[in-house]
Every structure is written in structure tokens, then in C-alpha cells.
Amino acid sequence: MGGFPPTPIVGMFVVGASLILIEGLLELGISSQAAVYGLPVSSAVWAVPTFTIVLAVLLFLLTWGYATSPSWGLGVLFLLLGMLSFILGGGFIVGGILILIGGALACFADWVQELVNRNLQIARARTTSPPTEARGGERPRTTAKNTTEPSHPAGSAGIVVYRPCPSCGELNPPEFTACLSCGKSIDS
């Protein structure tokens, strides 16, 4: 996609990963307190908070990567990791939901940016200047400017109102008496 990432999406990733990290740390604290009080804690119980914390760190790293260069592929990866987070608790459910929504929006934002870039290229290819030869009309007269005068700022330039042709709708400069496109007379 290039450019700047959508900051609400990055915010969703950060909050979601933070909730998952908090849940992992809370699970780790509960497991260690259970071991302190003599409850039997198997290695599988220790694996859940460990994987939750690893997932949160991975999400933070991917968020950093998305913030530096947003892409559709990272959006899909966030969707997959958001689904995986629900196996480990999902950051009190809210964190997983934020990661899923952010991943979907990251994919959508990339698609929208591609459409905008494509339409900007089309818009840049079109020109707004009138054709060099007017059919049936006069060419606009240009006057030689005195180069010793200071240039006027753009804010003091006059506003030119183009007149539409009643036949074809083409916008024509006000000094033209015939349409640039179809050549028919433009009545004031």
C-alpha cells in the first residue's frame, strides 16, 4: 500500500495486543501463586500463559511492522493470530475481537488504497486545459506580461467562470463565442 498506515487500525492492534499481554501476565501470576500455595501445577498449565505472552509480543512486533509498511498480507496474519488468541483466552475476549476487526480493516484499507491510487493515476492522465485548436471558435488572446512587475500571489488572481455549452455541456472560457467541443454558438 505504501504511505502512512491507518492509525485507528494500529490503535486496535496495540490495545488488543496489550489486553492479550495483560491476560498472559495475569495467568502467569495465578499459576505462580497456585504453585506457592502448594497446588499441583502441571507443565501444561505453565504453557498457556507462556504462549499467551509470546503471542502478545508477536502481535506487538507485527503491529510495528504494519505501522512502518502496511500491507494486505499483515492484515490476514492479524486475522489468523486473532483467531488463535481465542484458544488462549483472547485477551479477555475484547483483545481478540480488536485484533480480528483490525485485521479485517487492514485488508480493507489496503484494497481501498489500491483503488484510490489507480483512480489518481487516471485523474492525473486527464487534462483540464482546452484543446490547442478550437473548432469554430477563437483562440484565447494572450498578452505579453511586463517581467519587471512583481508577480501577484495566487490569492489575488481573478476567478474565471467557464460557461457550459447548451448543446454538449462542455465548459468553455468566457471569451469564446463557440463551443470548443462541438463548435455550436454559445449564447450568453
Span 124-149, pLDDT tens digits: 555 455 555 544 555 555 555 555 55
CA–CA dist 15, 161 (Å, integer): 51
- The phi-psi region of residue 183 (left if phi > 0; otherwise alpha if psi is between -120 and 50; otherwise beta) is left
**Closest C-alpha among 76, 133, 87 to residue 110:** 76
Q: What is the pTM of this model?
A: 0.60
Mean pLDDT of the chain: 82
Q: How much is the pLDDT for 1?
A: 47
Residue with the bigger pLDDT between 3 and 110: it is 110
**How long a stretch of residues is the chain?**
188
For residue 122, give every residue at least 6 positions away whose Cβ sits within 8 Å of its Cβ, in sequence order, or none.
none
Q: How much is the pLDDT for 118?
A: 77
Count CB neighbours of 139 within 10 A.
Answer: 13
Q: How much is the pLDDT for 42?
A: 86
Q: How much is the pLDDT for 95?
A: 95
All 3 cell numbers of residue 170? Answer: 462542455
CA–CA dist 18, 64 (Å, integer): 13
pLDDT higher than 60, residue 93? yes
